[in-house]
Amino acid sequence: MIEIQEMERNLNFFKPHQLDDLKKASLMNRVDTKFIVPINMLTYIFETIKNQYTILEIDSKRVFEYQNVYFDTPDFIFYRHHHNGKLNRFKVRCRNYVDSDLSFLEVKFKDNKKRTHKNRIRVDSHSNELIFNSDIFLNKFGIKTPQDLIEVQKGGYHRIALADEENAERLTIDLNLYFKNSTSQTTRRIKDHAIFELKQAKLNRNSIFFKVMQELSIKPSSFSKYCIGMAVMDEDKKIKVNNFKQIMRKVAFNTEEKQNIEQAESAA
């Protein structure tokens, strides 16, 4: 687990920005590209891109804690659509920004052009009741039967948020990821990798971050925190995990998690 105070000190060389400073780089409609990056490469990456990006700073903090609660149907339709590579697919979650104690119910939609659309509303809690009380919002953004949704997974991480306003880019770095099964309360952690996500108005491989990833021979990965968490914690073998095995092998798990992967593979 990365020590957050130490990470904060290692980010001092970035110039800061505030949320209101982002106009072109707010990107609620965007193209996402994700990379799975070993923790030991972070210092080099940050040193290389420090003059291109600014960092979100709120109340002198530059590393923020997030908690997510994911909702799906009892037969995991959102997970299955993602696993099977279906486009025009949805994800429903409640995100809590722990440091500011703000929560939002979010609908993410990946269209058939592989663009991500995110819509959200402020909420006061992340219980199942918020789904029932938010049916108008959910209906508006494509969730036709919100009453069928149940809580299936909790999780969290620490996030660093960078932005290149001039080129309409945001770059998020998620650290100390963990996933918790909402039924068994079993927890799994990713210890030795960070998830970088480059968000762009349109795909631009000339971005400095793309070039750094090429230099380090790190290729884009289709990494979904929700789906990987579900796959790793599928204790009852209720879902297919075949299409996520390569990613599951790449990410550093502890002994218990490796056992879980082996069991999932032998049952597939």
Positions of E strands within the chain: 16-17, 29-38, 54-56, 64-72, 89-97, 102-110, 116-123, 150-164, 169-181, 187-189, 193-200
Give the pLDDT confidence of 99-112 residue by residue, as tens digits.
999 999 999 999 99
pLDDT confidence band for 81 (50 / 70 / 90) = very high
Burial class from Cβ neighbours inside 10 Å (0-12, 13-18, 19+) for residue 120 reads middle
Q: Which pTM does this prediction carry?
A: 0.88
pLDDT confidence band for 186 (50 / 70 / 90) = confident
Give the pLDDT confidence of 104-145 residue by residue, as tens digits.
999 999 999 888 899 999 998 656 577 878 999 999 999 999
CATH number of the domain residue 173 falls in: 2.40.320.10
State residue 233's pLDDT score: 85
Alpha carbon separation from 7 to 4, 174, 212 (Å, rounded): 5, 12, 20
Give the pLDDT confidence of 194-224 residue by residue, as tens digits.
999 999 988 899 999 999 999 999 999 989 9
Query: What is the residue range of 119's domain?
Result: 4-267
Specify the number of domains making up the chain: 1
